Structure 1
């Protein structure tokens, strides 16, 4: 049961970040100021309220599954998790909130785009780290060589 919970939470977390990332790029390039404001609002609510628990659940279930296990793949996954969490808490969440506030009042200026760039970079880093964790998890289960 814990394995199913871990996989489901990880899938939701990766899907959220990938969706936020891709839609942000699409809307910034092709959208209007109104569509940008709408997207930023949706990322904060309900987006973060889906993403944050799914990342937390992925971490908690992952630590539970790793208990009593050892090996290179387990250690690599355990080393990546703090970076994913810190990146999310200290960079992604504050960026999302600031961008939502600025966009909601029409303040889409140089500072907005700087913070947007930081958010996209942090999101890409988390996607890469989470993808590596998924690959190692699949290796551990024997589904990926």
Structure 2
């Protein structure tokens, strides 16, 4: 069961973060202020999906690792604190700040500076999650070839 939960939860987390990132980028580049406001105020609601998905991914991953810390498992485990810290210290506060500013129709220089930081931090988390997915697929391929 855990072998099913881990990739589903990880895929859900990656898809959710990617959706946040792409929605933000497209609304900023091509949409109206009201669309930007809609996107920025919707993103914190997405945490109701994202946070449990990340928790399930981490918990199931640790259970699957069975205490091993070498090789690809070790690389995945080393990335998780970076993903979590980036999310908790940068992305979540930025999302709430941007939602507040957007709701108040304050799309000013501070809004766009935080928006730029959020896009960079989000891209970093997407990259780290993709690296973890790649390593997970490599581990699965190795276990299938045995």
TM-score band (shorter)?
over 0.9
Counterpart in 2 of 1:75?
Answer: 74
The TM-score, its normalising length taken from structure 2, stands at 0.94
Return the alpha-carbon distance in structure 2 between the equivalents of residues 19 and 109 of structure 1.
24
- Alignment length (residue pairs): 143
1:142 aligns with 2:141: yes
Kindly provide the CA deviation profile for residues 80-119 of structure 1, in whole angstroms up to 9, marking residues without a partner as x: 0000011111111000000000000100000000000110
Kindly provide the CA deviation profile for residues 24-56 of structure 1, in whole angstroms up to 9, marking residues without a partner as x: 1100011111111111111111x1111111111
Counterpart in 2 of 1:131?
Answer: 130
Q: CA RMSD in A?
A: 1.3
Counterpart in 1 of 2:41?
Answer: 41
- Note closer, same or farther for the CA distance 1:95–1:70 as it changes in structure 2 (3 Å cut): closer
1:110 aligns with 2:83: no
What stretches of structure 1 move > 6 A for 4+ residues in a row? none
Return the alpha-carbon distance in structure 1 between the equivalents of residues 54 and 138 of structure 2.
21
Unpaired segments ≥5 residues, structure 1: none
The TM-score, its normalising length taken from structure 1, stands at 0.95
Q: Conserved in 1, the CA contact under 8 Å of 2:69 and 2:77?
A: no
Report the alpha carbon displacement of residue 72 of structure 1 after superposing the two structures with TM. 1.0
Counterpart in 2 of 1:96?
Answer: 95
Report the alpha carbon displacement of residue 68 of structure 1 after superposing the two structures with TM. 3.8
